[in-house]
Amino acid sequence: MLARWLMQGCTVLLLDEPTRGVDVGARSEIYALVRRLAAEGAAIVLVSSEVPEVLGLADRVLVVREGRVVHDAPADELDEGRVLDLVMEGSRAS
């Protein structure tokens, strides 16, 4: 599916859980492709529940909890623990 869109010359991509259900080899290829496209100037919005995936691919991270953005920061200013804390903050109050 991704290859089909790329053949159309898309410059903006919305990737929702792009590696869900794929094996390790395919995951690695997808990561390399995302990095290459970004380096070539494509705008990529990546939605993933895999925190290490997001931190490894993104320049900027928006943490969403219950449909609202609760934090916005450069990826290099966050770690997995901080992201999980931000996601769970609202759950603890319930």
Name residue 16's beta-bridge partners.
47
The length of the chain in residues reads: 94
The gap between the terminal CA atoms of the chain, to the nearest Å, is 40
Q: Where are the domains of the chain?
A: 1-47, 49-94
Chain centre to alpha carbon of residue 23:
18
State how far the Cα of 76 lies from the Cα of 59, in Å rounded to an integer. 8
Percentage of the chain modeled with pLDDT above 90: 72
pTM of the model: 0.80
| pLDDT tens track for 42-69 | 999 999 999 999 999 999 999 999 899 9
Number of helices (H), then strands (E), belonging to the chain: the values are 4, 4
State how far the Cα of 40 lies from the Cα of 65, in Å rounded to an integer. 31
